[in-house]
Amino acid sequence: MAVPVAMEKTNTEKEEHDNKPYILQLPDHITVHIFCKVPIKTLIQCQCVCKSWRHSLSNPHFTKDLFSRTPPSFLFHGLSGGPINPKSVGYLLVDLNKISSPNDFTLKLYKDPNVRNLRVGVLGSCNGLLCIYELNRRCFYISNPITSESLALPTLSLSPLTIASCERERIDNPYYCGFGYSPITNAYKVVLYLSSSSKSHEYEVLVLTVGSRIWRSIGNVSVFPSSRFQPYGVYVNGFLHWVGQYGNSSTLICAFDVESECFQQLSLPPYDLDLQLPANCLDFLDIQFTLGVLNGSLSLTVRSRSRSNITVWLMKDYGIHESWTKELEISSDILGSPSFSRVLKFTEDGQVLLLNGSHLQAYTPGTRSVVTIEVDGIPSLVDECVHIPSFVSLRGVITG
């Protein structure tokens, strides 16, 4: 008696299912629940196991849920001004929640395949995506180093006068850029300051919404980032932040609202009381400001070369000047190096993680002791940004 084709096919599929390892027979929702508890380094390997796992890892609902559960890591990369190393692996993703054995939680990621030049700058990280600027070619890219997806953004079309102005102001390094996200409209935006050719103390601001084809000018501003400090905006609370100047006098924090594309001004903490400086007086050769994000709050690290100390301030209630709180003060002599970069993290056990030159260090305030944390692969000239790895697809970003 002949067996019907449909029944034969069903039996074959059942045999194939039974021969699969037990973990591959689990329902999709159980598999996704397990994935949410697996380290990101292991999840990348899981993509290669089978098509169903790869599909689950690229599901938008899963990527959103996973992102909300993933702790921040730090993405280290070589400075754009450093020597070109053709053997550079690209980026080093380090989970600093595991400082006792950081090499076990370190992931090497290759640089954006679209970038022709090794001299690049990372403008910032939002929702697992990086914005990259390739020097000398004025090219911007959005990439996800976890999925290896990359998107080249529209090229800047500048007039000869503007190009000359950019070269005088060293925009190609690049200076005065930022990458942010608006949760209201689900839009990612790149912001760029250009020196005004007609007014010496004004900058034209250009904005590109990722997925669009044009850079839009939103007008000129009189408050502009200072080239003496960070060139890239720090994203927190829906705003991009730079330490800037108003004309030739006041120094403050420029805050750009990514949603409304309007600027606000935030005052600096009362660092001048520590340094015994007159109000609104700043010796640029003595003071170094570094903006960042610590414990989810806007942070400002103030370094005084003459007093050989470093203070870290947090704005605990965003936009409220009185909420600036001094969290830490360290003598530069303790760190044993003049190349101090920034505070990365306050750990749950009371330690402070620092990036000092190309070295990770753990500082214990109680004993005033510093221990170097060995991590393989950090370049000699290094910069970093807070990065939460994600499997989010660039297709969804462009559609959004």
Q: Please enumerate in sequence order all residues whose Cβ is within 8 A of that of 256, keeping only pairs 6 or more positions apart, or say none.
A: 178, 180, 191, 233, 239, 240, 241, 262, 263
Sheet bearing 203-209, strands edge to edge: 177-182, 187-195, 203-209, 216-221
> For the segment 129-164, what is each residue's pLDDT rounded down to a tens digit?
999 887 667 788 898 888 888 888 998 765 544 444
Residue 282 has pLDDT above 90, yes or no: no
The per-residue pLDDT for range 28-51, each reduced to its tens digit, is: 778 777 877 777 778 877 877 777
Closest C-alpha to 147, from 120, 170, 127, 172: 127
What is the tens place of the pLDDT at every residue in 300-353?
A: 988 876 667 788 999 999 999 999 999 988 887 776 655 666 788 888 778 888
The more confident residue out of 292 and 338 is 292
Task: Give the confidence band of 249 by pLDDT, cuts at 50, 70, 90.
Answer: low
Q: Report residue 213 as tokens.
A: 């084809």
More reliable by pLDDT, 311 or 120: 311
Distance from C-alpha of 172 to C-alpha of 227, rounded to nearest angstrom: 12
CA dist., res. 51 & res. 281, Å (int): 62
- The DSSP symbol for 262 reads -
Helix 28-35 and helix 60-69, axial crossing angle in degrees, nearest 10: 30
Q: How far apart are CA 50 and CA 113, in angstroms?
A: 25
How confident is the model over 183-206, as a mean pLDDT? Answer: 80
Q: Using an 8 Å Cβ cutoff, are 143 and 133 in contact?
A: no
- Whether cis (ω within 30° of 0) applies to the bond prior to 21 is no
Please give the average per-residue pLDDT across 121-135, as a whole number.
Answer: 86
Whole-angstrom distance, CA of residue 242 vs CA of residue 290: 9
CA proximity to 70, closest of 105, 104, 99, 103: 105
Question: According to DSSP H, which parts of the chain are helical?
Answer: 5-19, 28-35, 40-46, 51-57, 60-69, 160-168, 271-275, 332-335, 394-399
Which amino acid makes up residue 388? I
Q: How sure is the predictor about 201, in pLDDT bands with cuts at 50, 70 and 90?
A: low
pLDDT at 78: 65
Encoding tokens for residue 173? 């390094």
For the residues 172-181, what does the mean pLDDT come to? 73
* Radius of gyration, alpha carbons of the chain: 24
pLDDT at 324: 95
Q: How confident is the model at residue 171, as a pLDDT?
A: 45
> What b/e sequence results for 173-195 when a residue is b if at least 16 CB atoms lie within 10 Å of its CB, and e otherwise?
bbbbbbbbbbeeeebbbbbbbbb
Q: HSE, CB side, 13 Å, CA atoms: give it for residue 61.
A: 5
Residue 5 sits at φ, ψ, to 5 deg, of -60, -40
Please determine, looking at this structure, whether the domain spanning 71-399 carries the CATH number 2.120.10.30.
yes
Q: Which residues of 303-322 are buried (b: 16+ CB within 10 A; e: fewer)?
A: bbeeeebbbbbbbeeeeeee
CA 52 to mean position of chain CA atoms: 31
**Residue environment code for 211-229, b if the CB has 16+ CB neighbours within 10 A, otherwise e:** eeeebeeeebbebbbbeeb
Confidence of residue 225 (pLDDT cuts 50, 70, 90): low
The CA-atom distances, in angstroms, between 218 and each of 63, 192, 212, 384 are 33, 11, 15, 30
